[in-house]
């Protein structure tokens, strides 16, 4: 939320500081490492119960994290490697800070409330993962009530209250957990809706011919294309098996099958896939029976093939061919 609304204002303040630091030789990687080291000190102070010192070190942890980007841009060293290092350091820093809270709660609440910081770490990792995975898939996943900047500020507020009354630490962390869980759920819903819209757009037909009846169904099985002419009547369909194209003449209600294909005549109104399969199976079965019924000397084979020549005939020729059965 803060990242989207106040990013330009923050950049206006941090950019001059980043240029000043870059001019004296400070690098972005040094700032990232310094912030990570101070997060360890903050975790130790929080675990020992010194919330004021822990808060001061946590603020010191946030400053390098805020300035490493402007320094990299000012020095001209911004890169994918630096962005990766910064993201990994942020995750490690979060683990140290919440680990310090878990250490304190485990020592003073008999281990029961120490689960809350671990749950917060798990949910915040889920928030980061949702964004990373969504952006990898080309979807936007920014936004939410408790992004990293908000979590950092909220944790500072929790430490301020805990410095005054340590008994309020566990209830405040429970509220913190509810807020980050709501953020993770909200981000999941937004990404899910965006992904659903993307799937629907991809499933929509690329082009719809004008005037085609809904019952006209072109199917090309093993072919390069199947085409239905505009204005064809209901039930008009074409099946091309092994052919270059199957087409239905405009205004026709018949169901032609390309000559030389393996498919035979099938009943109109059946599902397209079933029509093609039944026709192919029926034609092959009929050709096999006819070939087996012919005398052995009259069985002709195509050169280089083990199938009888009758299979190469068209469907009307196969049906009209005399069938001789063996005794």
Nearest in space to 62 (alpha carbons), one of 34, 87, 81: 34
Task: Find how far residue 205's CA is from the centre of its chain.
Answer: 21
Beta carbons of 162 and 196 less than 8 angstroms apart: no
Give the C-alpha separation, 47 to 168, whole Å: 16
- Cβ within 8 Å of residue 237, ≥6 positions away: 215, 216, 217, 218, 219, 228, 248, 255, 268, 272, 275
Q: Is 65 a catalytic residue?
A: no
Backbone dihedral angles phi then psi of residue 229, each to the nearest 5 degrees: -70, 145
Backbone dihedral angles phi then psi of residue 307, each to the nearest 5 degrees: -105, 145
Which pair of structure tokens corresponds to residue 31? 């700032």
Burial of 134 (0-12, 13-18, 19+ CB in 10 A): buried
Give the C-alpha separation, 85 to 96, whole Å: 17
User: Which residues lie across from 248 on neighbouring strands?
Assistant: 228
Give the C-alpha separation, 96 to 112, whole Å: 19
Beta carbons of 265 and 238 less than 8 angstroms apart: no
Pairing relationship of beta strands 217-221 and 237-241 according to DSSP bridges: parallel
Count of CB atoms situated within 10 Å of the CB of 306: 6
- Of these residues, 65, 68, 86, 90, which one is catalytic? 90
Give the C-alpha separation, 177 to 37, whole Å: 26
- Cβ within 8 Å of residue 66, ≥6 positions away: 10, 14
Catalytic residue numbers, as ranges:
90
């Amino acid at each position: 939320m803060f990242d989207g609304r106040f990013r330009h204002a923050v950049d206006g303040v941090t950019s001059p500081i980043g240029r000043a630091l870059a001019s004296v030789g400070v690098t972005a990687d040094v700032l990232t490492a310094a912030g990570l080291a101070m997060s360890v000190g903050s975790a130790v102070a929080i675990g020992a119960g010194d919330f004021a010192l822990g808060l001061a070190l946590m603020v010191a942890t946030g400053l390098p994290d805020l300035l490493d980007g402007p320094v990299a841009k000012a020095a001209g060293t911004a890169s994918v490697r630096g962005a990766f290092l910064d993201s990994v350091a942020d995750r490690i820093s979060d683990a140290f800070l919440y680990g310090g809270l878990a250490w304190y709660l485990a020592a003073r609440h008999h281990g029961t409330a120490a689960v809350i910081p671990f749950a917060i770490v798990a949910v915040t990792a889920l928030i980061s993962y949702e964004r990373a995975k969504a952006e990898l898939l080309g979807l936007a996943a920014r936004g939410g009530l408790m992004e990293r900047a908000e979590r950092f500020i909220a944790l500072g507020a929790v430490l301020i209250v805990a410095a005054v009354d340590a008994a309020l630490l566990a209830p405040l962390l429970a509220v913190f957990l509810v807020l980050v869980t709501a953020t993770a759920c909200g981000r999941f819903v937004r990404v899910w809706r965006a992904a659903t819209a993307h799937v629907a757009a991809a499933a929509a037909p690329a082009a719809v011919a004008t005037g085609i009846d809904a019952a006209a169904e072109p199917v090309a099985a093993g072919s390069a294309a199947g085409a239905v002419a505009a204005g064809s009547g209901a039930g008009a369909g074409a099946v091309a098996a092994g052919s270059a194209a199957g087409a239905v003449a405009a205004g026709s209600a018949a169901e032609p099958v390309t000559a030389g294909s393996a498919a035979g005549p099938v009943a109109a109104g059946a599902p397209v896939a079933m029509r093609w399969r039944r026709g192919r199976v029926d034609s092959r079965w009929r050709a096999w029976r006819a070939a087996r019924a012919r005398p052995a000397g009259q069985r002709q084979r195509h050169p280089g093939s083990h199938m009888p020549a009758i299979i190469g005939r068209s469907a009307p020729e196969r049906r009209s061919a005399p069938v001789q059965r063996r005794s």
